[in-house]
Chain A
Amino acid sequence: MEILDDVLRTGSRSADEIEVYLVEGQSVSAELKREVVSRSIESRHVSLSIRTISGGKIGTSSTSNPADWQRCLEAALASGRLATPQAWNGLPEPQSLGGPDLSYDPAVRPGPVAVQGMLEAMVEGAMCHPVQVTSGGATMSTGTVAIANSHGTWYSRNQSLVSASLETIRKNSTGYEFETSCSPDFDPASIGDRAGFLAASSVNGSDIPTGTYDIVLSPLAAAQLISAVLVPALSGRNVHAGRSRLAGLIGTPVADPAISVYDDPLLPGRPGSTRWDAEATPTRRVPFITDGTLREFAYDLKTAYRHGTESTGSAVRSGSGGLPAIGHHNMVIAGPETALMDEPAIFIQDVVGAHTANPLSGDFSVELTNPFRVKDGTFEAPVRKAMLSGNVFDLLTSVAGLGQDRRNIGSLVLPSIRLNDQHIIGG
């Protein structure tokens, strides 16, 4: 932490304002090759990012070697000299943001034996089904994030993460499942059981004719499509740059009235939770879509100042070279949750190629993974191969129901989604 002081003190002589962001952590992971642990990895991560602001010109740089902070500071100052000046009302002033860490569990102690136990439990779970395990992995990590700026703002927090995944196969049918949490609070055997079930139950699928079907997207399948299209469309930067189809639609219906979409950074125990964002702005709930109506876009400081509004506390460190960029912390898809599979439908566990969707128009065409015919709440029969085509923005307006299986998928929290009358191209 002395480095933060050194950077602030030295940088303040050359820039109006300065900010330093330090991430340090360690992780232990292990990987399966078939049912056997084949390699174990211990990692130590560190990253120091510096941002300088002078006369509305923002400079940035980062380094994986904090001892080399002086070169990093010089690069940030040089970067600032090239930037186009913009309206700038200052880095955040210090505030009292006390409270326990939201995304940290001291019970997470990264170690080879702990991850080995998770792998063994997953394999045991999968073996309840007639499948072969092909690969898998388990990781435990802990770390700290600290941010400080020349206004005296200085926050730090601990974080922890536990993740596990397993891939299985039976004949040419594959299954994949995973969990991620801040705590060792999930059952690895259940991951194996689900991955095994998906591969075993997808064998001997039959083709379906091209046509219109009612479908149920699992949380994973829905998250893939939402991440590719809706998430970038809610970024204030994309909205003002003319790269969002939602631009100009604040106050108008953009989704089924039963659907709300919001970012909740203060959910305890979620990996994305934090009381301050990646540039030290206090976080808050951001209601993007409330009861189907578009309410708000996400902003960081830079975009907010440029367009005369306030940051929504949505900065994350996903930009190039450790730069803050607009994102979200825990994006929740919410609405009344009911049983979705009583009426006949095609259930879709995952999709292949969601990232190839058109992020501007929302059009997509993806291959289905583990599709099943479902009826009366049960999986009736697997479908061999099919494609789903449509438009993500149109899907939002045609939601027929949300399921009771809400889960964390990356930074999204969402249940299954039922959509009627969707276009499927049969195999």
Chain B
Amino acid sequence: MPGVRYYDIRHVQGQVTHIDIDNGVCESAASSFFDHAVIRALSRQGWGILTVDDFQEVRRNEIGSLVDRAASIAAICEEDISLSQPVRGSHEVPRMAEDPRDVSLAEKAGILLELERSARIPGIQNTRINYIERFEKTRFCDSTGYENEFETCRSGFGVLVVAARNGTLQMGYERRHTIRGLNIRHQQELARSAAERAILLLDARPARGGTMRAVLDPELAGVFAHEAVGHASEADLVQEGSSVLAGKIGERIGTAAVTIVDDPSLPEFGFEPFDAEGSATGRTEIIRQGILSNYLHSRETLAAVGNGQAGHARAAAGEPPLVRMSNTYFEAGESTREEILAECRHGILLKGSRGGQVDPGRGVFQFNAEYGYLIEDGDCTTMVRDVSLSGEILKTLFSICLCGNEVKMHQGFCGKGGQSVPVSDGAPYLLLDGAVVGGSGDS
């Protein structure tokens, strides 16, 4: 392997099972199989990467030719890349209370049909449940002779409920995903709450846009941490020059109430025993008491940019690693929910999340709440719908006045570079002063 300074191979095999229940009909309940490998070779000019489906297993006598092939692709690269010294280690995968693979597809479909029935209350015209279970066996090896492997099973479900009246449609949505085993039993109350909210939203008014005080519930505040801070702290973006957080380590970018952490070693939905480069994972404080403290790193970006630790390289099966968030959260403050609403006095409470997006170079983000309530004299009053929030990364963290005293994590999937990876976001209730709220109504 002449000219190859380093190589690694990440091989992911597994099985994914989907069950789709739509208005009482089992539309599909099926399992599929995958077998992907990514071979990376670092030459003097840069990375050459080979991705292969149907890899089956790393056949040791073929590694040389695969690595040579990857290295030959790097001939067009022109970047002198250094890697930080590897820090190895692995966290134990949390035990599952009930392994989904021990429950038959038929039993799971039966549980989901029952769950879906519990959301069918008067006023509801469609109920749909999607279940997914993904078992992965990941093997990693590199040119230093290091090898490691782990197995994970992520599973969960989403309930979408549609309410209708006089041509108006509204939806309620709940989802729960986990790495701790089958989670579909005894969830009727959750499904029913989605249905009740869909019906309530039929009478909710569109929110009035403008600048106001806003209280974010833990789910939405978690998305806020992810969109407003997390992406811009990814050091590949910093290195490219497309993050407004570049060059700001040690600077105050928010109030002292703000501490934001990313921790792939946390046993939540974004858990990684070790990262996609074989690095040990651990807690990185991105912002500590309002001061930008660290970026999220791969070995390459740590060597190039500094400030932080590697262990934040992640990859979808069969895709090259990218610097990614995992479990990202605001640390708790001291205020109760009631104290936050009272301090807000007049404003808007935003709840639930339909996702968000950020332009980290421009430093502008947007995310959307599922619903909310006007806050009048410290009380939640009129329900509003279709309300979003936008802001500027370098200003918005100064608007956080109060942080609640209890962090809750919510699960989702994050897209970057065409790859989707499981993540969790967390936060307590937050009070923002001068939030830019989007809405088309006049409530």
Show the binding face of A for B, using Cβ within 8 Å.
Answer: 28, 30, 33-34, 36-47, 58-68, 71-72, 75-76, 78-79, 82-84, 86, 112-113, 115-116, 132, 134-135, 167, 169, 172-174, 210, 241-243, 245, 319-323, 352-353, 355-358, 360-361, 363-367, 369, 385, 387, 389-391, 423, 425, 427
Contact = CB atoms under 8 A, between A and B. Distances in A.
Contacts of A360: 162, 169-171
Given A44-B53, A169-B361, A174-B361, A387 B30 contact: no
Kindly name the residue among A36, A60, A132, A389 whose own CB sees the greatest number of chain B CB atoms within 10 A: A389
11 contacts: A28-B73, A43-B50, A60-B28, A63-B35, A79-B105, A172-B363, A243-B162, A356-B366, A360-B170, A366-B388, A389-B439
Given A41-B320, A369-B359, A389-B439, A321 B30 contact: yes
Interface string B48-75: 1111111010000000000001100111
Kindly name the residue among B164, B206, B390 whose own CB sees the greatest number of chain A CB atoms within 10 A: B390
B7 to A, nearest CB: 13
B240 interface: yes
A330 to B, nearest CB: 21
Nearest to B364: A367
Given A132-B241, A360-B170, A365-B386, A320 B359 contact: no
A355 B355 contact: yes
B387 A169 contact: no
B380 interface: no
Contacts of B440: 363, 365, 389-391, 423
B26 A242 contact: no
Kindly name the residue among B30, B77, B169, B385 whose own CB sees the greatest number of chain A CB atoms within 10 A: B30
Interface stretch (B15-23, B174-182, B254-262, B335-343): B15-23
Contacts of B97: none
A40 B23 contact: no
Interface in B238-264: 239-242, 244
Contact of A363 (B54, B206, B390): B206
A58 B28 CA distance: 8
Chain B contact residues (Cβ within 8 angstroms of A): what range?
35 or more
A82 B366 contact: no
B209 A172 contact: no
Contact of B54 (A46, A173, A352): A46
B32 A39 contact: no
Nearest to A174: B361
A147 to B, nearest CB: 17
B237 to A, nearest CB: 8
B429 interface: no
B200 interface: no
Contact of B73 (A41, A46, A78, A363): A41
B79 A38 contact: yes
A321 B130 CA distance: 13
Given A62-B32, A174-B359, A40 B74 contact: yes
Given A37-B76, A58-B28, A356-B388, 18 more contacts: A36-B77, A37-B78, A42-B49, A63-B33, A134-B241, A169-B242, A242-B23, A353-B367, A356-B367, A356-B368, A360-B169, A366-B438, A367-B438, A369-B359, A387-B366, A423-B440, A425-B209, A425-B438
A40 B31 contact: no
Contact of B31 (A33, A321, A385): A321
Given A64-B36, A360-B171, A352 B359 contact: yes
5 nearest A-B residue pairs (beta carbon):
A365-B438, A356-B368, A353-B366, A39-B47, A321-B32
B46 A40 contact: yes
A424 B104 CA distance: 52
Contacts of B362: 172-174, 369
A36 B53 contact: no
Given A79-B30, A423-B209, A43 B78 contact: no
Contacts of A319: 28
Contact of A41 (B49, B53, B358): B49
A120 to B, nearest CB: 10
A132 B361 CA distance: 11
Contacts of B29: 79, 82-83
Interface string B365-399: 11110000000000000000111101010000000
Contacts of A41: 48-51, 73, 320
A301 B22 CA distance: 17
Nearest to B126: A242
Nearest to B40: A39
Given A64-B36, A321-B16, A360-B162, A59 B242 contact: no
A321 B131 CA distance: 13
Nearest to A237: B22
A171 to B, nearest CB: 9
Interface string B312-355: 00000010100000000000000000000000000000000011
Contacts of B48: 39-42
B125 interface: yes
Contact of A59 (B30, B171, B359): B30
Question: How would you classify the secondary structure of chain B's contact residues: helix, strand, loop or mixed?
Answer: strand
Contact of B28 (A42, A323, A361, A387): A323
B47 A82 contact: no
Interface string B405-442: 00000000000000000000000000000001111100
B27 interface: yes
B31 A358 contact: no
A58 B30 CA distance: 10
A172 B206 contact: no
Nearest to B34: A64
Contacts of A243: 126, 128, 162, 169
A65 B388 CA distance: 43
Contacts of A67: 54
A34 B241 contact: yes
A367 B366 contact: yes
Contact of A367 (B35, B52, B241, B365): B365
Nearest to A135: B240
Contacts of B32: 61-63, 72, 75, 320-322
Contacts of A71: 33
B173 to A, nearest CB: 11
Given A82-B26, A389-B209, A40 B53 contact: no
B62 to A, nearest CB: 14
B73 A112 contact: yes
Interface string B115-128: 00000000001101
A37 B162 contact: no
A358 B386 contact: yes
A387 B388 contact: yes
B30 A352 contact: no
Contacts of A72: 32-33
Contacts of A40: 46-49, 73-77
Kindly name the residue among A33, A71, A353 whose own CB sees the greatest number of chain B CB atoms within 10 A: A353
